[in-house]
Amino acid sequence: MGGSATLHHPLRAKAMPGNFANLRVVLVNTSHPGNIGAAARAMKNMGLDRLYLVEPREFPAPRALWRAAGATDVLARAVVVASLAEAIADCGLVIGTSARERRIPWPLLDPRECGQRAWRESAQHQVALVFGREDRGLTNDELAQCGFHVHIPANPEYSSLNLAAAVQVLTYELRMAALGDAGGSVTQTWDVPRARAEDIEHYFEHLERVLVEIGFHDPANPRQTMARLRRLLARIRPDRMELSILRGVLTAMQNFVWRARSAERERAAAPATGDGPGG
């Protein structure tokens, strides 16, 4: 068939609608239950209903219900988890919010790009928008678990929005992207699914172990090495196959080092075990 070459081409472009069911909002360590309720309401107004709460200080709570108004169903279905890693484990795209400049610059989206990308990719995999604590936002470690950061370009002299207001702005942009999608924007499809946040965590745990084993990395004196490597991977956004190749390389390196070290140990032990070298 003439069409089969195109069919199997991994980069074939096709129009793809997004999917609200694959979009989630993650609130990390929220202090005020009222903000959780207001965020649920903001989400439902914009057509989203999957809320994840990472260690909320107070939840469930009457104040959350009051502020949720007609969105109590979103609260009722909210998933409470113990860590950000757990909330995003199955996600192929994780976007973290930031009210200010951070230590090392990261791949950055504005709210419009965030809405468009999140909507587009929600056709292919799970997508998370991650929001931080009222008093100090997301930690650097949490931001390093995100593929992109998004900043709402507010007044630079007063740039920090109320948590639920930030949820409103970003979910509004998602909705605008969804409404604009009727004509079908052109998206690239890939031959292998994107690596998920969980795969990337496992890769970095493995990588750090190996870098310590070979003496490249000293966890006591880290100097942002791991954060920079994380940013490198965030720019690349590897697929699952690419990531499993990288892990295979790590395992081969470990085996190589182990073999070399045990050979060394055997050589060192040899003189003590018997008729040592004469002289």
Residues in contact with ligand SAH by the rule CB under 6 A? 97-100, 131-132, 134, 136-138, 151-152, 154, 159-161, 163, 166
Question: Of the two residues 166 and 207, which places its CB atom closer to ligand SAH in the complex?
Answer: 166
Question: Of the two residues 115 and 137, which places its CB atom closer to ligand SAH in the complex?
Answer: 137
Q: Give the span between the Cα atoms of 68 and 62, in whole angstroms.
A: 10
Q: Which helix (H) or strand (E) holds 230?
A: helix 225-236
- What minimum distance in Å lies between the beta carbon of 193 and ligand SAH? 27
β-bridge partners, 81: 54
The C-alpha torsion from 261 through 266 and 272 to 277, rounded to 10°, is -110
213 alpha carbon, distance to own chain's centre = 27
Question: Of the two residues 138 and 197, which places its CB atom closer to ligand SAH in the complex?
Answer: 138
Q: Report yes or no: 42 and 171 within 8 Å, Cβ to Cβ.
A: yes
- What minimum distance in Å lies between the beta carbon of 136 and ligand SAH? 5
- What minimum distance in Å lies between the beta carbon of 164 and ligand SAH? 8
Counting Cα atoms < 13 Å in the Cβ hemisphere of 237 gives: 16
Question: Of the two residues 161 and 226, which places its CB atom closer to ligand SAH in the complex?
Answer: 161
Q: Give the span between the Cα atoms of 176 and 119, in whole angstroms.
A: 9
- What minimum distance in Å lies between the beta carbon of 252 and ligand SAH? 40
Relative to beta strand 126-131, strand 23-28 is parallel
- What minimum distance in Å lies between the beta carbon of 78 and ligand SAH? 17
Question: Of the two residues 59 and 190, which places its CB atom closer to ligand SAH in the complex?
Answer: 59
